[in-house]
Chains A and B, each alone.
Chain A
Amino acid sequence: MQVFIAQIINGLSLGSIYVLLATGFNLLLLVALIIHFSYPVVVVFSMYIVWVVLNATGNNLLLGILAGVLSSIVLNVVSAPIFQKVMKKRGEVDVNSTMVVSMGMGFIITDILSHSFNHGFPIAYPENLTGGAPLFRIGLISVQVGQVWSLAIGAVAVSAFFVLLYKTRAGRAFRAISEDPAGAKLVGIPIVRTGIQSYALSGIMGGMSAILIAMLLHSASPGLGDMLAHKVLAVSIVAGLGNLVGGLVVGLALGVIEALIQGYAAGSWSNAIAFVVMLIVILWKPKGLFGIKV
C-alpha cells in the first residue's frame, strides 16, 4: 500500500508537468495553428540555460529561474516567423510542414546540447533548486520539495490559463482563432499578434515546466527533450489533438500510470510498458479519447 501511495504522489507531480507541457503544445496548435513537436526540446534547452546561469552566478535561484523562463519565451517567439513563413508558402495551415520544421529545430537543439554543454554528459542541479532532503517521510512514502512545487504550480498555472482563456478579452481572441481563423480575422482580431502572444504564453509555460522538471528530476540530458516530445505528442493525441481538457486528464493519467508501472515493474521495462499502453490507445482511437479540436 505504501508503494502505491508513494507512486501516486510521484505520478501526480509528474503528470502535472505533462499537463503544463501539453497545454503549451495545444495552445500553439489552437492559436498559432502549428504542431510544435519540439516544444519540449525547447523546454529542455531552458533547463540547460538554468543550469548555466546557476553555475555562473553561484547558484542564484532568482536569476536561474528568470533565465530559464526568458530563454523559453525568446526561443518560442524567435521561431514564430519561421513557422509563419512555412505556412504562408503553402497558402494555408499545413500541419505536416510545421511539424517537420519543428523536428528540424529539435535536431539542432538536441545536437547543440550534446556538444556544447558539460561535454554531452547529463547535468545535475544544485540542492538549493531541488530542495535536498524530503519534506517529510513515512515509511516508503516521502514528499520532495519538487513534487509539492510541481503540483502547486501546475494547478495554479493551468487554472490561470483557463481563467485567461474563458474570462479575458485575450482569451476570447485565442478561442475565436481556434474556432475559425478566417472568421476571427473578419471581426478584426489581429491574427499575427494574437499568434505571437500564444508563442509567448506557451514560452512562459515552457519556462515554468523547465524549472519544475529540474526540481523533480534533479538532472537533465540532451536525450530528455526527445523523450518528453514523444510523450507530450502522445498525451495530446490520446486526449484528442487541441483538446485542452482532454490533455489535462490524459497528462495526469499518464503520470500516474507511468509512476505505478515504475513502482511495480523492473525499471528498464517501465517506459516500454507505458509506451505500449499509449500505442494501444492510439491504434484503437487515432483521433483521441476526447475528440480532435482542430
Chain B
Amino acid sequence: MSLSMYYFLTITAVNILMTWAIYLPYRVAHLHFITIANMAISGYLAGYLVMTLKFPFFWALLIGFAVGGLIGYIVSLFIGDAPTFAVVIVGFTFIYITRTVIENLPAVGGTMGMFGLPNIAKTPAGHRNLIILILYGLVLLVGFLIHRFDNSRLGKAASAIFVDKDLATSLGVDIKKVGQLLQVFSCIVAGGTGVLYGFIYKSFHLDFFTFHLVGIFMTTIFVGGYSTLWGSLLMAPILYGVPLMFPAEIQSWRMVIYGVILIIILVLKPEGFITRKFVYNIGIRLSRKREKI
C-alpha cells in the first residue's frame, strides 16, 4: 500500500470517528467541541506513556479512551443540559486551555511537539496495517453502536430533545441524563481517536489540534447530514479526498472551500445530503427488492 493511500484511509477513518463524536451530542443540539481537546489530551498522554514510561501501546490506547470518558463525564455533570452556545464555548475554552498547558509542558515536548513514537508492530508495514485495522474496527464498532442508539427509545428521546426540550421533558425524558450519556460516549470515542491520530504520524504536535479541525468536522457533519450517521460516513472520504486531487495552490485554500460549502448547504439544504427521510426511503426500496427476490 502506498503511503498516500495509507494516509487517505487513516485520516478518513479519523474524520469519520470524530464527526460521529460530534454527531452524537448534536442529537440533543449540543455542539461538543471538547472532543477536540480530548483528542489532544488523550493523544499526548498516550504518547508520554509509551515513549517515557514504556507502556505497551494497547494499554496506552485503553487509558486514552478512559481519560477521554472521564473528562467528558466530569464536564457533563455541569453542561449535560446546558444551552448549545454554553456547550460550544466550554469546548473552545477547553481547546485553548489544553493548548496552553501542552505548550508549557516540557515532558511532552512543549511547542516542539513529541516525535519518534515507536511502531506498534514489528515492521513499518505491519504498523500501518495494524493502525488501519484498529481504526476501521473502531469505525465498525462505533457505527454499529450509534445505529443501535438511533433506532432505540433513547435515540427517539434524543430526537425529541432536539426538536423541543420542554416537550421532551413533558414526555418524561430526562434531558440531563441523555445529554450526559451522549457527551461521555463522544468523549470516549474522541480520546481513543486522538491516540490513534498521533500514532498514524508517529508524532504529536499542537498544530494537529487547531481550529481547522472544528471546520473540517463541522463541514462533514452539516454537509453530510446531521440527522443520521450515514452522512458523515459518506462525506468524510469525499471532503478529505477530493481536495487532494487538486493542485497544491488550491489545496491550501481548503478551509475557504469548506466554509463556502458549509454556508451553501445550510442555506439550500439545511438538513444536509443524507436526511432521515432519505435513509427511510432507501430502506423501503431495499425491502421491496428483497420481497421480489
The interface of chain A, by Cβ under 8 A from chain B, is: 35, 37, 82, 85-86, 89-90, 95-97, 99-101, 103-108, 110-112, 115, 226, 230, 233-234, 237, 241, 268-269, 271-272, 275-276, 278-279, 282-284, 286-287, 292
Chain B residues near A110: list those with CB within 8 A.
Answer: 255
Q: Which of B75, B93, B255 contacts A111 (CB 8 A)?
A: B255
Chain B residues near A82: list those with CB within 8 A.
Answer: 263, 267
Q: Does B214 contact A (CB under 8 A)?
A: yes
Chain B residues near A111: list those with CB within 8 A.
Answer: 253, 255-256, 259
Q: Indicate if the CB atoms of B96 and A275 lie closer than 8 Å.
A: yes
B interface SS class: helix
With most chain B CB atoms within 10 A of its CB, the pick from A110, A268, A286 is: A286
Q: Mark each residue of chain B from 53 to 83: 1 if its CB lies under 8 Å from any CB of chain A, else 0.
A: 0000000000000000000000100110011
Q: Which of A99, A108, A283 contacts B255 (CB 8 A)?
A: A108
Q: Which of A271, A284, A292 contacts B78 (CB 8 A)?
A: A284
Bound CA–CA A278/B91 (angstroms): 12
Interface 9-mer from B11-19, B99-107, B117-125: B99-107
Q: Indicate if the CB atoms of A100 and B252 lie closer than 8 Å.
A: no
Q: Indicate if the CB atoms of B256 and A108 lie closer than 8 Å.
A: yes
With most chain A CB atoms within 10 A of its CB, the pick from B75, B94, B101, B262 is: B262
Chain B residues near A233: list those with CB within 8 A.
Answer: 85, 88-89, 92
Q: Indicate if the CB atoms of A268 and B270 lie closer than 8 Å.
A: no
**Which 3 A-B pairs give the minimum distances between C-beta atoms?**
A272-B100, A107-B259, A108-B259
Which B residues from 261 to 286 make CB contacts under 8 A with A? 262-263, 266-267, 270
Chain A residues near B101: list those with CB within 8 A.
Answer: 272
Query: Given contacts A35-B85, A108-B259, A233-B88, could you give 11 more A-B pairs where the C-beta distance is less than 8 Å?
Result: A100-B218, A104-B266, A105-B263, A107-B256, A108-B263, A111-B253, A268-B103, A269-B100, A272-B97, A275-B97, A283-B79
Known contacts being A96-B29, A115-B253, is A268 close to B267, with CB within 8 Å? no
**A and B contact pairs by CB, cutoff 8 A, 12 listed:** A89-B267, A90-B270, A95-B83, A99-B85, A100-B266, A105-B263, A106-B259, A108-B255, A234-B89, A268-B103, A275-B93, A279-B93
B: contact size bracket: 35 or more
Known contacts being A230-B93, A275-B93, is A99 close to B84, with CB within 8 Å? yes
With most chain B CB atoms within 10 A of its CB, the pick from A106, A107, A271, A292 is: A107
**Shortest distance between the CB of A93 and any CB in chain B (Å):** 13
Q: Does B234 contact A (CB under 8 A)?
A: no
Bound CA–CA A108/B101 (angstroms): 28
Q: Indicate if the CB atoms of A103 and B214 lie closer than 8 Å.
A: yes
**Shortest distance between the CB of B138 and any CB in chain A (Å):** 27
Chain B residues near A115: list those with CB within 8 A.
Answer: 252-253, 256
Which B residues from 217 to 268 make CB contacts under 8 A with A? 218-219, 222, 252-253, 255-256, 258-260, 262-263, 266-267
Q: Indicate if the CB atoms of A283 and B90 lie closer than 8 Å.
A: yes
Residue of A nearest to B101 (CB): A272
Q: Indicate if the CB atoms of A230 and B89 lie closer than 8 Å.
A: yes
**Shortest distance between the CB of A98 and any CB in chain B (Å):** 9
Bound CA–CA A241/B89 (angstroms): 12
Residue of A nearest to B211 (CB): A226
Residue of A nearest to B260 (CB): A108
Chain B residues near A100: list those with CB within 8 A.
Answer: 31, 218, 222, 262, 266
Q: Does B130 contact A (CB under 8 A)?
A: no
Chain A residues near B253: list those with CB within 8 A.
Answer: 111, 115
Q: Which of A99, A279, A286, A287 contacts B97 (CB 8 A)?
A: A279
Q: Indicate if the CB atoms of A86 and B270 lie closer than 8 Å.
A: yes
Q: Indicate if the CB atoms of B258 and A286 lie closer than 8 Å.
A: no
Residue of B nearest to A271 (CB): B100
Chain A residues near B155: list those with CB within 8 A.
Answer: none
Which B residues from 116 to 136 make CB contacts under 8 A with A? none
Bound CA–CA A83/B215 (angstroms): 19
Bound CA–CA A54/B253 (angstroms): 27
Chain A residues near B218: list those with CB within 8 A.
Answer: 100, 103-104
Q: Does B141 contact A (CB under 8 A)?
A: no
Chain A residues near B97: list those with CB within 8 A.
Answer: 272, 275-276, 279
